[in-house]
Every structure is written in structure tokens, then in C-alpha cells.
Structure 1
Amino acid sequence: MRCMGKWQERKQFNNAWNKIYYKSHNLINNCAMSYKIEPLPNGDTLIGEGPHWDIETQSLYFVDIDVAKLLRYDYKENKTYHAVLEGEKFASFITPVEGEKGKFAVGCDRRVVIVAWDGVSPKAKVERVAHEVQKGEEFALNRLNDGKADARGRLFAGTMYNDQKDLFSTRKGELYVFEKGKPVKTLKSNIGISNGLTWNEKANKFYFIDSTDYDVKEFDYDCETCVTCNPKVVFQHSSHLPDGMTIDADGNIYVATFTGHTVYKIDPSTAKVLLEIKFPCKQITSVAFGGPNLDILYVTTSKLNDQPPPAGSTFKVTGLGVKGLPMSKVRI
């Protein structure tokens, strides 16, 4: 029998997935609920990350880290655009710059750079370096990882050690706040893999993931000074590696697991898992709410280490019955 080509496999898989509904169990209400998972068109990545929903353009921006690629999914067109970031090895997050159309803050190695991209062209260029951290030779193998703007437009981003051999034993990462007109502030040191972060400003809480700790920590948070204190573990898994994270309008957090096929919905006030959203691939990297009503959960994945299809696809999850919070642009 003639072997099926990869594009044929992908086409058949996507056609099948467009018809599939996954059911899960809502642990709070003790009733079944349905949600639908669908892949975005042309949203394949090696390591998809950093999803950011931009209300102004009705677009989902995200990155493909290890090939320095920027992506934009246009909701109205139902189409994904790709751009190679010229001259760079990594692109670890992408956040639109407030008041500057077509400008983005992007994490490249240990630099936060400002990139010009029209969201359509196949190439994008670095215009300037806004910040650089960990300049010493001892940090040569470090790079920025996850990054996101808070409600005041301050960019929070952290570093990680990027040597696969010692990935889980070397804690040279740090978490920073980049605020316009102010020096870079170090929030936390001794980090393995700085990863998911989100805020509940109404409750004065900040949530942060160091993937090497296999947990999500909640901090009491001063929104004015960015001071964090009183860390408390609100989610922990012995084998599933937590990665990216977001929050809904009810204050529940959603945690992607890089080794677990799953996005977990968690009530941080009780540390209870409310919902497990299951995917047909293992490496789930990050999550963000978007869509016109902010009720679609967008999910990035990875096909690192030759994971089979549909690994690397970017998905949308509908029917969850919740809404997210608007994501902020960065002031830089």
C-alpha cells in the first residue's frame, strides 16, 4: 500500500476534528458539559507559545519560539499569517505596543525588542532594543521565555536556562518587570523555567509558574508597586509539567500542561480542579481567551521531539460557558 503523505494525513485529521465534541465533567456543579475543540487553519508550529488576543484587530498573535516566527490568526478571515523575524534565533512572546500600530514587544534571547510587522507580510524586522537582561557570560545559555503585560501596560517576562541537558537542574532564571521610563525591576530570582503568569487585580493576586517546580503559586500582590509576598501553591501535579496560563472573568485560572494533554481549570481560592480540557496531543504550551465576546479559549501546542500530528496545531475551544478578561498592550 502506498503511504499517505503528511499533508493528506493532516487534511483527514483536521476534517475529522471539525466534527468532534469532547465532553468533560464539571466538578463544581456535578453535571456534564460539552465543549468543542477545533484546529485553526494553518496554525501549525514547532513550539507555539505566547498567545495574545488583540481586541482592536480581532486577531490572535502568537509565536513559534525556536524558529523565530510570528503568527497572526485573523478571526474575521479565519486565516493565519506567518512572518519570520529576520536576524533572530528565538521569539518567545509577542505583545502589541500601545499607541503604535504595527509595533510589538517581542522576547529575543535576553532582549526585549520592538518589532515592526503589518500582520500580513512574510518577514518582520527588529527596529530597536528596548531592554536587555542577564548580560554576563554566565547567562550566555539563558533566554527570555513567557511574557505578558499587566493592566497598567507593564511587561512581565522571565528567563530560563536553555540547555536541554541541564534544563531542570540549573536555576539561573529571573522574573522581571519592564515599565516605561523606569529601570528594569527583578521580581524573583532562582528560577528554573520562568513561565505562565496572570493577575486577578480585583483580589490583589498574582499567579506565576516556574515549570521546574511543577506547580502554580499565588502571591498577594500590590498592583501599584508590583511587590509580591505570601506565596501559596494553588495547583500541583507530580508528572504534568505546567506551562502557560490565563484567567477568566470569574477568577478561575487555566493551566496548560506540557506533558499532559490537558488544560486544567482551577479555582485558586480552593485549589480545586473544576475542569480538565483534553487534547489529542501531549505538549500543550499556553492559553488565552479571545474572540469577539472573549469566550473562546485559544490553545497553543508543540511538536518538539517529533511528536505526531496534530501536535503543533493551534486550537480554539468553544462552549466553555465562560469569558476571559481583555489582554493589555504594553507601554514601552
Structure 2
Amino acid sequence: MIERNTEISESEMKTKNLQKLKHKMPYKVEQLPTKLAYLGEGPHWDVETQSLYFIDIYNGRVHRYSYDENKEYTAKIENEDVVSFIVPVDGAKNKFAVGIGRRVGIIDWDGKSPKAKVERIAFEVETENEYKMNRFNDGKADPRGRLFAGTMRMERDVDIFDYRLGTLYNFGNNLVTKMRSSIGCSNGLTWNEKTGKMYYIDSVDLNVRELNYDFDKGQIIGDGSVTIDFSESGKRPNFVPDGMTIDCDGFLYVATFGVSKVFKIDPKKGEIVLSIEFPCEQITSCAFGGPNLDILYVTSAYMGKDKDKPAPAGATFQVTGLGAKGLPMAKVRL
């Protein structure tokens, strides 16, 4: 368990506006009793079951952490090695949309059994030979239940900065629509319905982009603008922005793969207002959950090019004491 009263250091300030930062915030980081994940990702808090669902991408596993039991259940998806996200299906008990390679499948899982099967494939993308090494990455439902999911080059043996073969897709009303193309690594997704905005991360761009979004039509309007740029004088820093969520007040929370932090960001000012620190480097994503939606759940990885990262890398964490609440996460409407 880590208890901190943290102030952003000068080395962490990514824009000139951050030079003025004086904000402090107490919080507590605790490791959950879950298995260490090679590449933990895609946390989704389900209000109905009071459970956190997440995945271990290259082990083909889906996980459920039960808040009431303080216990984890995990299942291997049969005959699948790459599973990139899990989102419950609206109105269908024990049904989940999961990213499997370049396909989106529907699984049936009771949340306890050690195995799960793909019942059917909802859709498949990028069947051409040049995309055979692509996979889905982050996937979420927008507030109206449309599934957004994007692709990237499998990163185990390549530098993701060498490729821009990814695409962001929208699946709604049984139609698959390309939303953005020429993406390096499709990553964090979240929405602010109050302001009509969508926020999106292509990790290769090293920024968070704010987009105008038509919630009735499920359409991105224009190219939007950069909310915050993490590059340092135009060069790559020692991390990439990864998964992302939003709180009730519109602040963004961005996981950083490489520097042990989740940044709380004020999108109106393009400023980091809090740096939440963890005892491992590869922080992958985050989501608000718990009975009051005031616990920030955070996933991580232990994957390494030469050797695995030491524990607690790959752990799943909870952060309390942030003084913030999230929004209920939407289920996929099929």
C-alpha cells in the first residue's frame, strides 16, 4: 500500500502552463488480490454486478474482480490467444463483447467459470494480408451503447512508432464504420456528453485529442484539437499515453506506459493537475468504480522486450481519496 501527498515535480511538467502548478491531493494506492497480468488492460466497471472486468491481452484471458467478495475470477477464452477488451452486452446476462485479434466476438461467461467460448463473431476487420499482424486494442461503448474499438500493430516484436496501419471503428445498428485511419496505436477513449466532446488517444501521437461528437448520430465532427501534448520539444518522452477515463467534473485520467503514473488532466486548460504514482512502470488503463464510483481502478503490465518486469508489475490497483467520482460505464447495445 502506498500513501502519498504528491506535488508535480518540475521534471513532470509537460507544458509551460504547468510551471504554475501548486496543487496537492492526498490519495491511497492499494494492490488488489488479482493475478499479475502480462499485459493487463481494458478495465470496465459494471454497476449491476459491482464488478471490475478487465483482460490480459496476450494470455487470452478475461478477469472479474468482485468488489463484494474482494476476490478475482478469471477465464481463458478457448482457442484464442489475443483478447484486447471486454464490454458487457446490454440486456443480455453473462454476454460480453470482446476483441479477439482483428475480430469482435460475443462470449458467454458466468463470471466464475475458468473457461469461456466465443459464441459468434459480430464482425471482422482488416482481412487484407498487410494487416495480418494487426490486432484490436482499446474498446469501449459510447454513452449510447455504440462500440468504439481501434487497431494497432502487435507490439511484442516491433516498435509501434514504425507503423500507422491502425483504424478506429464504430459498431452500431449492425454497421461497422471507419472513424479515423492512419493510426499508430489506437488507445484511450472517453466521452463528455455535457460538453458534446469525445477524447481519444493515439499513443504514437503522444497527445490527447478533443473531438466534437454528435451523440445522436454517433459521429465525430472534424479533426478536433490537441488537449495536451506529452512530447518534449517535439521528441518522444520516456512513456506513451495509454488508456483513459473521465470523472463527473470533466477531468481526464490518462495512464502512462513507462513512468508509473496516471495523470489527472484539466482539458479546459490543457494542464496536469495531479500525478498519481504507482510502484511499477507500465500503467495501462483506468476506470472509476466501486459502490459510489469514487474508486479509480488501474491496470498494469509486466511485459518486457528482454525480460519480464518484477512484481508488482502486472498488478491491478485501486486508488481512493481522490475526491472525484466517475460516470457509469455504458454497455454495448447489439
Q: Give the alignment's TM-score, normalised by structure 2.
A: 0.91
Paired AA for residue 92 in structure 2: E
1:287-330 deviation per Cα after TM superposition (whole angstroms, max 9, x unaligned): 00000000000000000011111100000000000000000000
Equivalent residue for 1:263?
262
SS of aligned partner of 2:65:
strand
Equivalent residue for 2:178?
186
Structure 1 CA distance for aligned equivalents of residues 177 and 87 of structure 2 = 19
The 8 Å contact of residues 23 and 273 in structure 2, kept in 1 or not, is answered as no
Equivalent residue for 1:233?
226
Equivalent residue for 1:219?
211
The 8 Å contact of residues 264 and 277 in structure 1, kept in 2 or not, is answered as yes
The alignment status of 1:83 with 2:75, answered yes or no, reads: yes
- Percent identical: 56
Could you say what the CA RMSD is over the residues aligned between the two structures, in angstroms? 1.4
Equivalent residue for 1:13?
none
The 8 Å contact of residues 81 and 119 in structure 1, kept in 2 or not, is answered as yes
SS of aligned partner of 1:293:
coil
Give the CA deviation at 1:230: 3.9
Paired AA for residue 47 in structure 1: L
Structure 2 CA distance for aligned equivalents of residues 29 and 295 of structure 1 = 24
Equivalent residue for 2:149?
157
Paired AA for residue 234 in structure 1: T
The 8 Å contact of residues 206 and 228 in structure 1, kept in 2 or not, is answered as no
Give the CA deviation at 1:222: 1.4
Distance 1:219 1:123, change over 3 A: same
Structure 2 CA distance for aligned equivalents of residues 43 and 262 of structure 1 = 20
Q: 1:136 aligns with which of 117, 122, 128?
A: 128
**Which is worse superposed, 30-39 or 299-308?**
30-39
Structure 1 CA distance for aligned equivalents of residues 28 and 133 of structure 2 = 40
Paired AA for residue 220 in structure 2: V
Paired AA for residue 320 in structure 2: T
Equivalent residue for 1:283?
282
Structure 1 residue ranges without an equivalent (≥5)? 1-16
Structure 1 CA distance for aligned equivalents of residues 23 and 297 of structure 2 = 24
1:168-194 deviation per Cα after TM superposition (whole angstroms, max 9, x unaligned): 11100000000033x201000000000
Structure 2 CA distance for aligned equivalents of residues 166 and 57 of structure 1 = 38
Structure 2 CA distance for aligned equivalents of residues 131 and 42 of structure 1 = 31
Q: Give the alignment's TM-score, normalised by structure 1.
A: 0.92
Equivalent residue for 1:108?
100
Equivalent residue for 1:304?
303
Structure 2 CA distance for aligned equivalents of residues 29 and 307 of structure 1 = 32
Structure 1 CA distance for aligned equivalents of residues 6 and 68 of structure 2 = 29
The 8 Å contact of residues 49 and 65 in structure 1, kept in 2 or not, is answered as yes
The 8 Å contact of residues 21 and 273 in structure 2, kept in 1 or not, is answered as no
**Which is worse superposed, 162-171 or 236-245?**
162-171
